[in-house]
Structure 1
Amino acid sequence: MLGAVLQTRAPAPPHGVIVAERGDIVPAMRLLTVDGAATGIPKAWAGRTTLVNLWASWCAPCLKEMPELEAFAREQGANGTQVVGIALDDAASAQAMLQRLRIAYPNLVDAPGPADAGVRLGNPAGVLPYTVLVSAEGRVLKTRIGPFESRQDIADWTQH
């Protein structure tokens, strides 16, 4: 319900920007890793269920949940749900925070704005943290606005 309320107050995305909804294929995007390498999504995630967490270095609830996401990612290993972060931030700030928090799961960077990765992944209100569960086939399974409270909270949410 919170998602519906936030979407009603969100400005319309710019003309031509595809906003994925539940069941839709994630729109193709090219984002950079924090190290500057170009990555095509959702192609980079093909074949594995992926938890995509949008965050920023200035977002306290984002930073609080990231160690739990890291622990979840380690538990999942090479065959479980993969975790990918997308920082709506500048690369230097994102990289510094990832190092400080010792986050090893892959992270991409996008400039915040009306057509950023968060908007395209179904969050036109820009509320962070925002998480999307993407199927192995690249479809949006579910979304979540707000932080996870624990590793168990993450595990429960990823059951689809």
Structure 2
Amino acid sequence: MKSTTKVLLVALGAGTLGAVAGLWSHGPGPLLNSELGQRALQGALSASAPPPPADLAVARRGDVIPALRLPDLDGQSVDVPGAWPGRPLLINFWASWCGPCIEEMPELDRFAASQDANGVQVVGIALDNADDVRAFLQRIPVAYPILLDAPGPRDSAVQLGNPNGVLPYTVLIDPDGRLRKQKVGPFQPGEIDGWVEL
């Protein structure tokens, strides 16, 4: 019985290493970029995450998101989603030190620029300090609003369904304030256009 357990553990370990090596060398592939793959990944990440603080409101798909009040780069408080009533929101969590976050920012900026006054509002929430974000945006500016939050077990990304703090992380909020989609990882060029369909 013990030798069977060892063989199974070795096989499980080898399979896990093979999957990690495959992702490392070939990227996530089409499954991770699909809605089914994202739901599976989100479920696995949530299962392995520590529970959020008991008094913290955490939205799940279909839930109205908790009201957030975060500062912008000028220190002015912004209510999310209240600052953009009646509009869908694409909220992207990022940090200036996150390579995949930086790579997808031109795509987010392109998509934001393609939206009219009633279209999807892109909002970036940097889980970072204000000085680093300002310095980063001097080098790589974006036209969509950037808000700030301190990373940790009570941050706004956790409240919107990202208990592990994986970056980049993006959510789609419908005009009624409900969390409709979640994405772990960066967008590929052109991917956002289809992803935002409610």
TM range (shorter): over 0.9
Higher relative contact order (CA 8 A, sep 6+): 1
State the match for 1:155 in structure 2.
Answer: 193
Decide which structure has the larger Cα Rg and report it: 2
User: Does the Cα contact within 8 Å between 2:96 and 2:128 map onto a contact in 1?
Assistant: yes
User: Does the Cα contact within 8 Å between 1:20 and 1:140 map onto a contact in 2?
Assistant: yes
Question: SS at 1:36's partner residue?
Answer: coil
- Deviation per CA, 1:32-86: give whole Å up to 9, x if none: 0011111112211321011000000110000000011001100113221110000
Question: SS at 1:45's partner residue?
Answer: coil
Structure 2 counterparts to residues 11-160 of structure 1, below 5 A: 11-150=50-189, 152-160=190-198
How far residue 127 of structure 1 moved from its aligned partner, in angstroms, is 0.3
User: Aligned partners of 1:106, 1:23: CA distance in 2, in Å?
Assistant: 25
Query: Structure 1 or 2: larger strand share?
Result: 1
How far residue 100 of structure 1 moved from its aligned partner, in angstroms, is 1.4
Aligned pairs, how many? Answer: 159
Deviating above 3 A after TM superposition, structure 1's stretches of 4 or more consecutive aligned residues are none
Provide structure 1 residue ranges, at least 5 long, that are not aligned to the other structure.
Answer: none
Question: SS at 2:114's partner residue?
Answer: helix
User: Aligned partners of 1:121, 1:99: CA distance in 2, in Å?
Assistant: 28
With 43-52 and 105-114 compared, the bigger mean Cα shift is at 43-52
Q: Give the alignment's Cα RMSD to 1 decimal.
A: 0.9
Matched letter for residue 71 of structure 2: L
Matched letter for residue 156 of structure 1: G
Please report the TM-score for the alignment, with normalisation by the length of structure 2: 0.78
Query: Structure 1 or 2: larger helix share?
Result: 2
Matched letter for residue 196 of structure 2: T
User: Aligned partners of 1:100, 1:47: CA distance in 2, in Å?
Assistant: 33
